[in-house]
Chain A
Amino acid sequence: MTRYFLKQESQKDKQKPQNKGNEGSIKELRTFKRPKYKSSIEKSQKEIDALVTVVKYKRKAWRGRKYEDDKLAGARVQAPWNRKSKRVPVPEDKLAHHSRGEGLSGDGIKTDFHQKKLKKHEANIEFSIEQAARAEILLPEESGFLLADEGELTTQFTQQQIASSVDITSATKHFDLHLAEFGPYRMNYSRNGRFLLIGGRRGHVAAMDWVTKKLLCEVNVMEAVYDVQWLHVETMFAVAQKQWVYVYDNQGIELHCIKKLNKILHMEFLPYHFLLATASEEGYLSWLDISIGKMVSQFNTRMGRLNLMTLNPYNAVVCLGHSKGIVTMWSPNVKEPLSKMLCHQHPLQSLAIDSQGQYMATAAVDRTLKIWDVRKLEGPLQQYKLHAVASNLAFSQRGLLAIGMGNVVEVYRDCCQRPADRPYLRHRLFKRIGNMQFCPYEDVLGVASDSGFTSLIIPGSGEPNFDALESNPFQSKSQRRESEVKSLLEKIQPEFITLDPTVITDVHIPTLRDKVEAKKKLLFLKPPKIDFQPRNKSGKKKGTVKVAQTKRIVREEQRREFVKTLKDAGIGEITSPQNTESSSVSVKHKPFTALDRFKPKKKKEEG
């Protein structure tokens, strides 16, 4: 061994000469038989000796498992999340962004085994968070922006200016569709932002791939159209017409006429629940499961005409705005609103919730605009006075707020956390705005108006990096089919629509308590039988049902009382053997008998 190391050192010292020597040795080996170079043979022998290292392996004596474990612990290959990595640490704010909560400390866990198990579990979660945060660097696209030079304001740039200074493909995203004949339009983008659906009040419905400007279908339904909505894929859309809701496919062929949904004013689609939520003129709110065609829930809100509706994308709760300045939130499971917020003193004009379900913007006819915290149901965080009534509101994926006032669209940036003093962009249309929506994954705002449709470029509004497993603008047909099947498989049941969607991952403590209570109630003692004959006050013969009911009520009450007395006496506590083995407990709760009064009295200190 030592020789080997010496050799290494010498190699290090003089790399070149040694190499020469090696070459020489090979030569010598080849010419081994020649007696002429006897000295060289000896030399070569030495060289060979030097090259061959004899490592004597000696097996060490067993010194016990504990020793071995200690030794191994040092040399053990550590799990990647425990290894002290030399990688660049991820910034705290990014970690916090991906965090799933603070986790458990493991206090209160008695056994070491389970404590370790929990720690490992926590380490796994932390590792996944770190990996997710680290993966941000791999995202290929960066979001758009618009920066004004000195002395300029971003507000002053017109769409023409922006379109002329961006590349040609982006410039094509600003366009107008002049459709003056078929009246006020409404529009909807598909979930991946690739397809556009417009519907004119006078019956004109058109679906198109707006990026390539390819028309999928164009029909006139020969009826008033109130709202249009894409369903889970771009092959189907729903149209709220004069009487009923119709479902068409992407060639304009009528697939269904849903007569249960009549006089619908607004439709929203819940993609993860496969529900079509609709609000009707007569105050009915309904949820239709479009995967099985079942009406999940339909009831009258008793709030009058529902012409203001939006969806909270965070918890799939439907929000309605009312003329009394109230915002109500509804789930299909409860026929009462989950919450009611008095937002304004005046009738509400428009309502929007941002994509993360944090902020809600409401606007009333008194030209005020308020921003609310939807998670806490608090606010207002911000309060603005606009110069005109905001008839339309829309949040973008990155939190930009578009406000439609008559025929003017204003876009605000960072208006939720701190007050914004001037709009980011402004655009004036020729006619009144019908509705508007930011296109997902694009820097585009689609505005439907009385005279058609306008697509506006809003730099920095869209999420630059899509997740192809959620929604993919470049989806092929087979990918679409696959994702449709996958999403149908993981359809969330409508029972889970609540204000807090994370409840399912929490520990449900009340049930545990309920269980213990139930266990306590499980007594193997017979309650005394009560033969109770209710008094016949009126003298008339009464129905036996009533008599039986009264009897039952009395019996139940008696039983409950009996159980309660037992519990007070400590018998109810006897559920686990440990409790009763300590005799002091049972002595303590000894029931008081008639003869106990003759016992010597206890001292008060003891009591």
Chain B
Amino acid sequence: MKVKVLCRNPDYYLRETKRDIYKVPRNYEPSLHPFEGLREYTRALNAVKLERVFAKPFVGNLDGHQDGVSCFGKHPQRLSLLVSGSYDGEVRLWDLPQQKCVRNFRAHDGFVRGIAFLPDGQQFVTVGDDKTIKMWKTDLPDWGEEEEPTNTYISKSVIMGVSHHQKEPMFATCGELCQVWEEDRNEPIRTFQWGVDSLHDVSFNPIETNLLAACASDRSIILYDTRDIGPIRKVIMTLRSNRLCWNPMEAFIFTCANEDYNLYTFDTRKLKQPLQVHMDHVSAVTAIDYAPTGKEFVSGGYDKSLRIFEHGKSHSRDIYHTKRMQRLTCVLWSMDNKYILCGSDEMNIRMWKARSAEKLGVLRPREKTALNYSEALKRKFGSHPQISRIARHRQVPKHVYHAQKELRTIKLKQKRKEANRRAHSKPGTVPFLSEKKKHIVEEQE
């Protein structure tokens, strides 16, 4: 007779000292792990609930401006520096980690309309309502030195915005005309005009560096090439676009914030219809900025809330709001893809986390694996109704909620009316128009 009976040596299974970690022998035999799917589902449900519990995106508030914040400047290298301009012509430089203003000076009479950093980050350009363009040093002036611009350009026409070339010492301003300036010349080297439009935003493409886009008040978006003499093409929409931002990773894609509550992502090669209509705002959208990854962008508008959209999705993934935040004038997505800044009418700059439930600071490896695991679970079970409902749900301010309801009713009514008309008229006379095509009037070359 040969016999062997299970007999475990406790030494192999118990820890040796009290300071030691517990031994956790594993066996991946499927029969020892029943209800695999159900338990994973429960974990996913817990993970998505916890995500909502931890969703506290507000980081801090920078106050100091004496008037509404009008524009931001994003430093190309330094994460901790922020430059903001306000309605009273003041420019402030902020230290973001300490949430302190490090420097402030009066740059213009009237509004500061735009701020743009030079590619090396040593200097920045500001434009204002006083028809001047001023160049400032980023570093503090030395002891006893006065706060003075390094260079001042005087324009003959009103200036509404500025954007600096990604590589060359060249910047563009917009206003009555679109002008291209060189840093060491007092006159614009090039002037573009198409009709009698006035432009309120201009932006250089960060990749295809000679390409320039501007939003005009005749509801159009115009593309220019700085090497060319005239503008290339424009697209006219039903309402005007307020702000425009290029995708930093895909050279030919830009998104514009429109007055008709929507944002439109365009492909420059095919302006006839937008790639995507992003709709969730309930009022005019006035500001937009892309994440450095190019996969997401943030927008803010007159509905006093920020919305974060994923590239290629028509509805936002998140909404940020506070009780005291008023209409947003400018937003900025930090270069480390972690924070969002927004400036609003009521003189404050607010700092938010880009992913609301993210834990700030260093993560231990176990934390990291646990987070990765819960992320994977959320992905796996994301389309289950219970889980998607919790992940989607957001508490919105009362005015947004009611506006959403109203808009929904309006849309439904329009749809119904159109369907009724279609049903009662000769087939083919009332064509279907997709949401993408509805808002574009024409493309001109």
Contact = CB atoms under 8 A, between A and B. Distances in A.
Interface in A455-478: 457, 459, 462-470, 472-474, 476
A467 B35 contact: no
Contact of B428 (A173, A357, A583): A583
Interface stretch (B36-44, B149-157, B198-206, B228-236): B36-44
Contact of A467 (B32, B38, B416, B431): B32
B26 A479 contact: no
A311 to B, nearest CB: 11
A457 B5 contact: yes
B2 interface: yes
Contacts of B27: 139, 463, 465-467
Interface stretch (B8-16, B51-59, B105-113, B349-357): B8-16
Contacts of A313: 34
B25 A140 contact: yes
A504 B41 contact: yes
Contact of B5 (A170, A473, A474, A525): A170
Given A313-B34, A316-B35, A132 B28 contact: yes
Contact of B419 (A97, A314, A489, A525): A525
Contact of A524 (B30, B33, B420): B420
Contacts of B415: 524
Which one of A467, A472, A503 has the greatest number of beta carbons of chain B within 10 Å? A467
Contacts of A523: 419
Contact of A459 (B5, B417, B423, B431): B5
Interface string B395-421: 000000000000000000001111110
Interface string A564-584: 000000010010010011010
Nearest to B12: A140
Interface residues of B, number: 50
A272 interface: yes
A145 B7 CA distance: 12
Interface stretch (A64-72, A160-168, A252-260, A331-339): A160-168
A144 B4 CA distance: 5
Given A169-B7, A525-B419, A571-B423, A463 B32 contact: yes
A103 interface: no
B80 interface: no
B35 A501 contact: yes
B427 interface: yes
Nearest to A586: B427
A526 B420 CA distance: 8
A22 interface: no
Interface stretch (A146-154, A287-295, A364-372, A545-553): A146-154
B194 interface: no
B6 A143 contact: yes
Interface in B260-300: none
A289 to B, nearest CB: 14
Given A148-B1, A524-B419, A491 B7 contact: no
B324 interface: no
Interface string B409-445: 0000001111110110001100111100000000000
4 A-B pairs with least C-beta separation: A524-B419, A524-B416, A505-B37, A577-B432
25 contacts: A141-B6, A147-B2, A149-B2, A167-B5, A170-B6, A272-B34, A272-B39, A316-B35, A464-B6, A465-B27, A467-B29, A467-B32, A467-B33, A468-B22, A496-B38, A505-B40, A505-B41, A523-B419, A524-B419, A525-B420, A526-B420, A571-B423, A577-B432, A581-B432, A590-B427
Interface of A: 97-98, 132, 135-136, 139-149, 152, 157, 161-162, 165-167, 169-170, 173, 272, 313-314, 316, 355-357, 397, 441-443, 457, 459, 462-470, 472-474, 476, 479, 489-493, 496, 501-505, 523-526, 571, 574, 577, 580-581, 583, 586-587, 590
Interface of B: 1-8, 10, 12-14, 22-43, 46, 384, 415-420, 422-423, 427-428, 431-434
